[in-house]
Protein backbone atom coordinates (compact mmCIF):
# COMPACT_ATOMS: atom_id res chain seq x y z
CA UNK A 1 0.00 0.00 0.00
CA UNK A 2 1.31 3.45 -0.85
CA UNK A 3 0.32 7.00 -0.05
CA UNK A 4 1.70 9.90 -2.09
CA UNK A 5 1.89 13.76 -1.97
CA UNK A 6 -0.79 16.30 -3.11
CA UNK A 7 -2.02 18.52 -6.04
CA UNK A 8 -4.54 21.00 -7.75
CA UNK A 9 -7.77 21.43 -9.76
CA UNK A 10 -11.51 21.10 -9.93
CA UNK A 11 -14.55 20.99 -12.18
CA UNK A 12 -18.31 21.19 -12.19
CA UNK A 13 -21.21 20.07 -14.27
CA UNK A 14 -22.57 17.16 -16.28
CA UNK A 15 -24.95 14.35 -16.10
CA UNK A 16 -25.16 12.25 -19.14
CA UNK A 17 -24.45 9.15 -17.16
CA UNK A 18 -27.05 6.44 -17.06
CA UNK A 19 -28.21 4.78 -13.94
CA UNK A 20 -29.66 1.45 -13.18
CA UNK A 21 -31.94 -0.23 -10.72
CA UNK A 22 -30.50 -2.22 -7.94
CA UNK A 23 -31.60 -4.89 -5.54
CA UNK A 24 -29.48 -3.68 -2.65
CA UNK A 25 -29.24 -1.12 0.11
CA UNK A 26 -30.83 1.76 -1.78
CA UNK A 27 -34.46 2.13 -2.94
CA UNK A 28 -35.06 0.29 -6.19
CA UNK A 29 -36.42 0.58 -9.73
CA UNK A 30 -35.31 -2.31 -12.04
CA UNK A 31 -33.39 -3.47 -15.21
CA UNK A 32 -30.00 -4.78 -16.75
CA UNK A 33 -27.12 -5.69 -19.42
CA UNK A 34 -23.38 -6.96 -20.49
CA UNK A 35 -20.56 -9.71 -21.04
CA UNK A 36 -17.23 -11.11 -19.70
CA UNK A 37 -15.68 -14.33 -18.43
CA UNK A 38 -18.42 -15.46 -16.11
CA UNK A 39 -17.58 -19.10 -16.57
CA UNK A 40 -15.45 -18.98 -13.47
CA UNK A 41 -16.21 -17.64 -10.02
CA UNK A 42 -15.31 -14.22 -8.77
CA UNK A 43 -12.68 -13.70 -11.37
CA UNK A 44 -10.75 -10.73 -12.24
CA UNK A 45 -7.82 -9.11 -12.71
CA UNK A 46 -8.78 -5.72 -12.83
CA UNK A 47 -5.45 -5.39 -14.15
CA UNK A 48 -6.37 -8.15 -16.29
CA UNK A 49 -8.86 -5.76 -16.82
CA UNK A 50 -6.15 -3.56 -16.05
CA UNK A 51 -4.16 -5.51 -18.19
CA UNK A 52 -5.13 -4.11 -21.34
CA UNK A 53 -3.95 -1.78 -23.88
CA UNK A 54 -4.70 0.05 -26.84
CA UNK A 55 -7.94 -0.94 -28.28
CA UNK A 56 -10.22 0.06 -25.69
CA UNK A 57 -13.56 -1.09 -24.42
CA UNK A 58 -16.36 -1.23 -26.87
CA UNK A 59 -18.47 1.38 -25.19
CA UNK A 60 -22.20 1.22 -25.57
CA UNK A 61 -24.87 3.09 -23.73
CA UNK A 62 -26.00 1.26 -20.62
CA UNK A 63 -29.15 2.75 -19.19
CA UNK A 64 -30.75 1.98 -15.90
CA UNK A 65 -31.43 4.12 -12.90
CA UNK A 66 -31.89 3.84 -9.26
CA UNK A 67 -34.32 6.17 -7.61
CA UNK A 68 -32.83 7.89 -4.61
CA UNK A 69 -29.21 7.76 -5.74
CA UNK A 70 -29.05 11.55 -6.09
CA UNK A 71 -30.06 11.90 -2.45
CA UNK A 72 -27.34 9.49 -1.40
CA UNK A 73 -24.71 11.31 -3.46
CA UNK A 74 -25.87 14.52 -1.83
CA UNK A 75 -25.17 13.01 1.60
CA UNK A 76 -21.60 12.25 0.52
CA UNK A 77 -21.14 15.79 -0.83
CA UNK A 78 -22.62 17.53 2.20
CA UNK A 79 -20.05 16.18 4.66
CA UNK A 80 -16.99 15.09 2.70
CA UNK A 81 -14.92 15.05 5.88
CA UNK A 82 -16.91 11.98 6.92
CA UNK A 83 -16.69 10.15 3.60
CA UNK A 84 -14.37 8.20 1.30
CA UNK A 85 -14.05 7.98 -2.48
CA UNK A 86 -12.58 4.62 -3.49
CA UNK A 87 -11.62 3.88 -7.08
CA UNK A 88 -10.38 1.04 -9.23
CA UNK A 89 -7.75 2.13 -11.77
CA UNK A 90 -7.68 0.26 -15.10
CA UNK A 91 -11.03 0.38 -16.85
CA UNK A 92 -12.23 2.96 -14.32
CA UNK A 93 -9.85 5.93 -14.25
CA UNK A 94 -7.88 4.73 -17.29
CA UNK A 95 -9.30 3.07 -20.36
CA UNK A 96 -8.53 -0.58 -20.96
CA UNK A 97 -5.77 -0.96 -23.52
CA UNK A 98 -3.89 -3.84 -25.15
CA UNK A 99 -1.08 -4.03 -22.56
CA UNK A 100 -0.83 -2.65 -18.99
CA UNK A 101 2.17 -0.47 -19.77
CA UNK A 102 0.15 1.42 -22.41
CA UNK A 103 -2.52 2.59 -19.97
CA UNK A 104 -2.86 6.30 -19.15
CA UNK A 105 -5.00 8.35 -16.80
CA UNK A 106 -6.11 11.57 -18.57
CA UNK A 107 -4.96 14.82 -17.00
CA UNK A 108 -8.61 15.96 -16.63
CA UNK A 109 -9.27 12.86 -14.53
CA UNK A 110 -6.17 13.49 -12.42
CA UNK A 111 -7.41 17.02 -11.78
CA UNK A 112 -10.70 15.66 -10.42
CA UNK A 113 -8.91 13.17 -8.20
CA UNK A 114 -6.69 15.98 -6.83
CA UNK A 115 -9.76 18.04 -6.04
CA UNK A 116 -11.38 15.09 -4.25
CA UNK A 117 -8.22 14.59 -2.16
CA UNK A 118 -8.63 18.14 -0.86
CA UNK A 119 -12.32 17.60 -0.03
CA UNK A 120 -12.76 14.06 1.29
CA UNK A 121 -11.49 12.28 4.40
CA UNK A 122 -10.06 9.54 2.20
CA UNK A 123 -9.40 9.02 -1.50
CA UNK A 124 -7.96 5.61 -2.33
CA UNK A 125 -7.20 3.54 -5.42
CA UNK A 126 -7.67 -0.19 -4.94
CA UNK A 127 -6.02 -1.78 -7.94
CA UNK A 128 -5.00 -5.08 -9.51
CA UNK A 129 -1.63 -3.46 -10.20
CA UNK A 130 0.91 -3.26 -7.42
CA UNK A 131 0.38 -0.20 -5.22
CA UNK A 132 3.63 1.26 -6.52
CA UNK A 133 2.57 0.84 -10.14
CA UNK A 134 -0.91 2.24 -9.47
CA UNK A 135 0.68 5.29 -7.83
CA UNK A 136 2.89 5.78 -10.88
CA UNK A 137 -0.03 5.50 -13.30
CA UNK A 138 -2.51 7.70 -11.42
CA UNK A 139 0.18 10.16 -10.34
CA UNK A 140 -1.84 12.05 -7.73
CA UNK A 141 -0.45 12.80 -4.30
CA UNK A 142 -2.53 12.36 -1.15
CA UNK A 143 -4.20 9.23 -2.54
CA UNK A 144 -3.80 5.91 -0.69
CA UNK A 145 -2.84 3.17 -3.15
CA UNK A 146 -3.61 -0.48 -2.33
CA UNK A 147 -2.35 -3.02 -4.84
CA UNK A 148 -2.85 -6.58 -6.07
CA UNK A 149 -6.57 -6.59 -5.27
CA UNK A 150 -5.95 -6.06 -1.56
CA UNK A 151 -3.32 -8.81 -1.19
CA UNK A 152 -0.74 -6.17 -0.25
CA UNK A 153 -2.65 -5.74 3.02
CA UNK A 154 -2.52 -9.50 3.77
CA UNK A 155 0.79 -10.59 5.36
CA UNK A 156 -0.17 -14.28 4.98
CA UNK A 157 -0.04 -13.92 1.18
CA UNK A 158 3.76 -13.56 1.33
CA UNK A 159 4.28 -17.26 2.05
CA UNK A 160 2.83 -18.12 -1.37
CA UNK A 161 5.36 -16.20 -3.46
CA UNK A 162 7.50 -19.30 -4.05
CA UNK A 163 4.50 -21.37 -5.17
CA UNK A 164 3.82 -18.74 -7.83
CA UNK A 165 7.39 -18.73 -9.23
CA UNK A 166 7.00 -21.74 -11.60
CA UNK A 167 3.95 -20.07 -13.14
CA UNK A 168 5.82 -16.77 -13.53
CA UNK A 169 8.36 -18.74 -15.59
CA UNK A 170 5.72 -20.07 -18.03
CA UNK A 171 6.29 -19.29 -21.69
CA UNK A 172 3.40 -16.96 -22.49
CA UNK A 173 3.75 -13.81 -24.61
CA UNK A 174 1.59 -11.62 -22.38
CA UNK A 175 2.54 -12.79 -18.90
CA UNK A 176 2.53 -10.30 -16.03
CA UNK A 177 4.33 -11.14 -12.80
CA UNK A 178 3.08 -9.01 -9.92
CA UNK A 179 4.89 -10.91 -7.19
CA UNK A 180 1.81 -11.95 -5.24
CA UNK A 181 -0.09 -12.87 -8.41
CA UNK A 182 0.75 -13.98 -11.94
CA UNK A 183 -1.51 -12.85 -14.78
CA UNK A 184 -1.84 -14.38 -18.24
CA UNK A 185 -3.40 -11.91 -20.68
CA UNK A 186 -4.71 -12.78 -24.13
CA UNK A 187 -6.12 -9.50 -25.43
CA UNK A 188 -3.60 -9.43 -28.28
CA UNK A 189 -3.98 -13.09 -29.23
CA UNK A 190 -4.90 -13.79 -32.85
CA UNK A 191 -7.41 -16.43 -31.74
CA UNK A 192 -8.79 -15.41 -28.35
CA UNK A 193 -10.86 -18.56 -27.88
CA UNK A 194 -7.85 -20.78 -28.51
CA UNK A 195 -5.71 -18.69 -26.16
CA UNK A 196 -8.25 -18.88 -23.37
CA UNK A 197 -8.66 -22.60 -23.93
CA UNK A 198 -4.93 -23.23 -23.67
CA UNK A 199 -4.87 -21.44 -20.30
CA UNK A 200 -7.37 -23.91 -18.86
CA UNK A 201 -4.48 -26.34 -18.30
CA UNK A 202 -2.50 -23.62 -16.49
CA UNK A 203 -5.51 -22.91 -14.27
CA UNK A 204 -5.85 -26.61 -13.43
CA UNK A 205 -2.16 -26.93 -12.50
CA UNK A 206 -2.41 -23.81 -10.35
CA UNK A 207 -5.38 -25.21 -8.45
CA UNK A 208 -3.51 -28.49 -7.96
CA UNK A 209 -0.68 -26.43 -6.40
CA UNK A 210 -3.15 -24.90 -3.95
CA UNK A 211 -3.47 -21.55 -5.72
CA UNK A 212 -6.64 -19.79 -6.83
CA UNK A 213 -7.26 -19.27 -10.55
CA UNK A 214 -9.51 -16.33 -11.40
CA UNK A 215 -10.72 -15.24 -14.81
CA UNK A 216 -11.25 -11.59 -15.67
CA UNK A 217 -11.34 -9.32 -18.70
CA UNK A 218 -9.26 -11.39 -21.13
CA UNK A 219 -6.96 -12.49 -18.34
CA UNK A 220 -6.33 -15.47 -16.10
CA UNK A 221 -4.85 -14.51 -12.74
CA UNK A 222 -3.25 -16.93 -10.30
CA UNK A 223 -3.20 -15.86 -6.65
CA UNK A 224 -2.70 -17.14 -3.10
CA UNK A 225 -5.71 -18.81 -1.43
CA UNK A 226 -5.97 -16.24 1.35
CA UNK A 227 -8.94 -14.30 2.70
CA UNK A 228 -7.99 -11.02 1.07
CA UNK A 229 -9.61 -9.17 -1.79
CA UNK A 230 -10.80 -5.69 -2.70
CA UNK A 231 -13.63 -6.05 -0.18
CA UNK A 232 -11.32 -6.72 2.75
CA UNK A 233 -9.13 -3.83 1.58
CA UNK A 234 -12.12 -1.47 1.46
CA UNK A 235 -13.30 -2.52 4.93
CA UNK A 236 -9.79 -2.07 6.33
CA UNK A 237 -9.34 1.40 4.81
CA UNK A 238 -12.69 2.59 6.13
CA UNK A 239 -12.51 1.04 9.60
CA UNK A 240 -9.00 2.40 10.22
CA UNK A 241 -10.42 5.90 9.73
CA UNK A 242 -13.81 5.35 11.34
CA UNK A 243 -15.65 6.21 8.11
CA UNK A 244 -19.24 5.12 7.51
CA UNK A 245 -19.85 6.80 4.15
CA UNK A 246 -18.22 5.81 0.88
CA UNK A 247 -18.46 5.57 -2.89
CA UNK A 248 -16.65 2.83 -4.80
CA UNK A 249 -16.29 2.69 -8.60
CA UNK A 250 -14.96 -0.25 -10.61
CA UNK A 251 -15.36 -2.18 -13.85
CA UNK A 252 -14.43 -5.83 -13.30
CA UNK A 253 -15.27 -8.99 -11.37
CA UNK A 254 -12.99 -8.28 -8.39
CA UNK A 255 -14.84 -5.00 -7.94
CA UNK A 256 -17.84 -7.05 -6.84
CA UNK A 257 -15.81 -7.85 -3.71
CA UNK A 258 -15.30 -4.12 -3.17
CA UNK A 259 -19.06 -3.53 -3.54
CA UNK A 260 -19.62 -6.09 -0.76
CA UNK A 261 -17.07 -4.24 1.35
CA UNK A 262 -19.50 -1.30 1.51
CA UNK A 263 -22.29 -3.40 3.05
CA UNK A 264 -23.51 -2.09 6.38
CA UNK A 265 -22.30 1.49 5.90
CA UNK A 266 -24.48 4.46 6.77
CA UNK A 267 -24.11 5.72 3.16
CA UNK A 268 -22.84 3.51 0.31
CA UNK A 269 -22.76 4.14 -3.44
CA UNK A 270 -21.58 1.37 -5.78
CA UNK A 271 -20.71 2.58 -9.28
CA UNK A 272 -20.18 0.16 -12.18
CA UNK A 273 -18.16 1.36 -15.16
CA UNK A 274 -19.82 -0.79 -17.81
CA UNK A 275 -18.31 -2.34 -20.91
CA UNK A 276 -19.15 -5.16 -23.30
CA UNK A 277 -16.50 -7.28 -21.52
CA UNK A 278 -17.72 -6.51 -18.02
CA UNK A 279 -19.54 -9.05 -15.86
CA UNK A 280 -23.34 -8.59 -15.86
CA UNK A 281 -23.27 -9.20 -12.10
CA UNK A 282 -21.36 -5.95 -11.57
CA UNK A 283 -24.10 -3.88 -13.16
CA UNK A 284 -26.73 -5.83 -11.29
CA UNK A 285 -25.04 -5.06 -7.98
CA UNK A 286 -24.46 -1.37 -8.76
CA UNK A 287 -26.45 1.60 -7.52
CA UNK A 288 -25.31 3.60 -10.52
CA UNK A 289 -23.90 2.60 -13.91
CA UNK A 290 -21.78 4.78 -16.19
CA UNK A 291 -20.75 3.77 -19.70
CA UNK A 292 -17.05 4.72 -19.68
CA UNK A 293 -14.18 6.21 -17.66
CA UNK A 294 -15.13 9.58 -19.18
CA UNK A 295 -18.65 9.33 -17.78
CA UNK A 296 -17.20 8.38 -14.41
CA UNK A 297 -15.12 11.57 -14.53
CA UNK A 298 -18.34 13.56 -15.05
CA UNK A 299 -19.78 11.86 -11.97
CA UNK A 300 -16.67 12.68 -9.93
CA UNK A 301 -17.13 16.34 -10.85
CA UNK A 302 -20.41 16.27 -8.93
CA UNK A 303 -18.82 15.05 -5.69
Is the pLDDT at 269 greater than 70, yes or no? Answer: yes
**Tell me: the pLDDT tens digits for 277-291?**
889 999 999 999 999
**Tell me: the pLDDT tens digits for 66-83?**
547 889 999 999 999 999
CB 86, CB 258: distance < 8 Å: yes
- Domains and their CATH numbers in the chain: 2-153+227-300 (3.40.50.1000)
Q: How confident is the model at residue 63 (pLDDT cuts 50, 70, 90)?
A: very low
**Tell me: the pLDDT tens digits for 201-246?**
999 999 999 999 999 889 999 999 999 999 999 999 999 999 999 9
CB 141, CB 7: distance < 8 Å: yes
CB 45, CB 83: distance < 8 Å: no
3-state secondary structure at position 112: helix
- What is the percent of the chain with per-residue pLDDT over 70, rounded to a whole number? 78
Is the pLDDT at 61 greater than 50, yes or no? Answer: no
Mean pLDDT of the 14-25 span: 38
Average pLDDT, the chain: 83
The whole-angstrom separation of Cα 181 and Cα 152 is 11
Q: Following DSSP, what letter does each residue of 60-104 receive, concatenated?
A: -------TTHHHHHHHHHH-GGGEEEEE--BTTTB---SSGGG--
Main-chain phi, psi angles of 194, to 5 degrees = -65, -40
**Tell me: the pLDDT tens digits for 128-148?**
999 999 999 999 999 999 999
User: How many CB atoms are closer than 10 A to CB 159?
Assistant: 10
Amino acid sequence: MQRVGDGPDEGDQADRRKRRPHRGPLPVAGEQDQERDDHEPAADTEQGAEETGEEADGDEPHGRILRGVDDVLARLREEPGLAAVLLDVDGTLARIVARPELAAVPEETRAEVRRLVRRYALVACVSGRTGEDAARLVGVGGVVYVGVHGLELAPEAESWRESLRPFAAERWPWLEDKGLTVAFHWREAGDEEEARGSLQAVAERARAAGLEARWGRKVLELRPPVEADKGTAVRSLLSERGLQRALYAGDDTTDLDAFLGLDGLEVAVRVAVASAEGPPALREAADLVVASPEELRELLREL
